[in-house]
């Protein structure tokens, strides 16, 4: 099932990075279209009329919205190349649990770190580190969350690494000092071309967040 494949995305989006990694890991060619979120394209509004958000994966003219659903779709359509989601039902359920955990915790807490100050920021940092430590516990001694190969949880989590530097600068703390196993896992992921080429430069993301801080008045 090849056909025309288009990804509507915005370069610093950790959610869009998930689809970029999944497609790169499987070696699937696609057209990347950068969106201006202040002036959304007619195609984006047409393909995602409910949320009007990126990323949107368009396969043969049909949209697939929401990043975790896109990764599942990519894995199901191109299932013969670098499988990401476990074939075992229980392992698949466990992976989905942790992806859901990442979606509910990591982005929101990371956003609080750069958007807030004082006690609210301190609480967000504390909970953020606690979440990463829980993820370290799930990783254990495995090379990747997926075992010996990159998997669903890895693809869901590693994009946030591109935002770690900004969290650290805004929150004045070190993620590696608190969660060395997490950063060791990131470094293993970054050795994979599919990951390294899909994540933007951390300092560029930090500069982007500094601009957002001006917008939100949280300088």
Whichever domain contains 22, its CATH number is 3.40.30.10
Query: From CA 79, how far away is CA 81, in angstroms rounded?
Result: 6
* Cα separation values, 214 from 115, 192, 204, Å: 10, 35, 16
Residues 74-97: what's their mean pLDDT? 97
Q: Residue 88's pLDDT is what?
A: 96
210 domain residue, yes or no: yes
Tokens of 33: 């279209």
* Predicted model pTM: 0.96
Q: Do 72 and 96 reside in the same domain of the chain? A: no
Domain boundary pick from 78, 106, 126: 78
83 domain residue, yes or no: no
Q: Do 72 and 95 reside in the same domain of the chain? A: no
Each residue of 31-65: pLDDT tens digit?
A: 999 999 999 999 999 999 999 999 999 999 999 99
Each residue of 137-161: pLDDT tens digit?
A: 999 999 999 999 999 999 999 999 9
- Maximum C-alpha span of the chain: 52
Whichever domain contains 126, its CATH number is 1.20.1050.10
């Amino acid at each position: 099932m090849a056909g025309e494949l288009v990804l509507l995305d915005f370069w610093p989006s950790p959610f869009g990075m998930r689809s970029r990694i999944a497609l790169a890991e499987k070696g699937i060619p696609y057209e990347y279209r950068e969106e201006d979120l202040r002036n959304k394209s007619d195609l984006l509004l047409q393909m995602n009329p409910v949320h009007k958000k990126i990323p949107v994966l368009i396969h043969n003219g049909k949209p697939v919205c929401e990043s975790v659903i896109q990764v599942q779709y990519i894995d199901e359509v191109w299932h013969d190349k670098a499988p990401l989601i476990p074939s075992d039902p229980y392992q698949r359920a466990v992976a989905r649990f942790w992806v859901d955990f990442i979606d509910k915790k990591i982005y929101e807490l990371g956003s609080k770190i750069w958007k807030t100050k004082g006690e609210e920021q301190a609480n967000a940092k504390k909970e953020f580190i606690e979440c990463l430590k829980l993820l370290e516990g799930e990783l254990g001694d495995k090379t990747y969350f997926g075992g010996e190969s990159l998997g669903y949880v890895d693809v869901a989590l590693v994009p946030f690494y591109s935002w770690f530097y900004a969290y650290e600068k805004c929150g004045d703390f070190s993620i590696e000092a608190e969660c060395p196993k997490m950063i060791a896992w990131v470094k293993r992921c970054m050795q994979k071309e599919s990951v390294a080429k899909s994540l933007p430069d951390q300092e560029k993301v930090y500069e982007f967040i500094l601009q957002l801080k001006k917008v939100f008045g949280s300088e």
